[in-house]
Amino acid sequence: MATNIAALLGAVILLIVVVALLYSVFGKSLAAGTYTAAIQLTDPPTVPAGTQQLLVSYSSVQVHVSGSNSTSGWVTASGSGTINLMALQNTSQTIAKASVAANSTINIVRFNITSAKITINGTTYNVSSPNSRVTVSVTGAEKINSSSAVLVDFHPSVNVHGSGSATTYLLVPAASAIVISSNSTVSINTNIGSTEPISENIKAKLGVGVGAGIAAGVNASINATLPVSANATYGSTVSVQDGQRISNFMAQNISYASNTVSGLIYVQYPVAATLGSETTLHIGDTVGYACDGTEAKLTEIYANNTAVFTHLTTSTRGGCPI
């Protein structure tokens, strides 16, 4: 009897060890129907000559998830720290991980830049950023599985202003993102800080269909767009959810509780801006332009965090500044 009990205890302990090992290696949640997706960063920065390292501290990593049952929302990922972007050429590093439902898609990644420093010819300088929030649209709609990761190609530029003791350095973020999966040529590690080489297949995928992506939180190629068309019927409505764009505004956080919609708005005239500004809309606020027929007013916010915009112009009026 004692022998049987000892054997049973030994089997239970072995099972626990095996499950823990599988979890640490594959990052799959023990909860049914959820997976742990790694958020990885790679980078070819544009920096001044003589740059030895570019340290960027980040926090508040989040992913926007769309589920198979038409649900969507932001999921906070675990992970923060400081990363040397100069060490990530042809290499990816896991910066965070998020638990998401099986068969869902991740269409946006965002994080905060809390500080940055650049070392040039042995001297370290502080680097400022015009926008601390970086928001990246994920190209494609690949479903997340047990071996998926979101790879963010973060390629900022460091611009130099002034000279001598008055020299300042400005970090202008730009990024694009894709979903990758582990296979014979791609290895994914959910341990924060782990690094992996970028395969030629992944390099090709980053270079096809990704485009310029987004700069300093401004989406240049949003997958889920709901533009207000010129000459649309006056009074017609468009429903928008987080991660969708209407005219020159991309919604990021629709809140029924506060009756507001936060997001990014970017000027189109006289020259289309490559940097967007964070803004918060209230009921009655407008986006777009009357001159090109894209003006719309925020008229309602539903309990499921869906915002409704109403078209305001009957036709393209012309006369947009150039």
Mean pLDDT split into 10-residue runs, the chain, 322 residues: 59 58 45 79 84 94 80 87 90 91 87 94 89 82 82 85 78 84 70 86 63 31 38 74 79 85 79 69 90 87 86 66 65
Nearest-angstrom CA–CA distance, 155 and 175: 6
At 138, which amino acid appears?
A: V
Q: What is the pLDDT of residue 20?
A: 54
Q: What is the pLDDT of residue 4?
A: 60
Q: Which residues pair with 171 in a beta bridge?
A: 158
Residue 8 token pair:
């049973």
Q: What is the pLDDT of residue 212?
A: 33
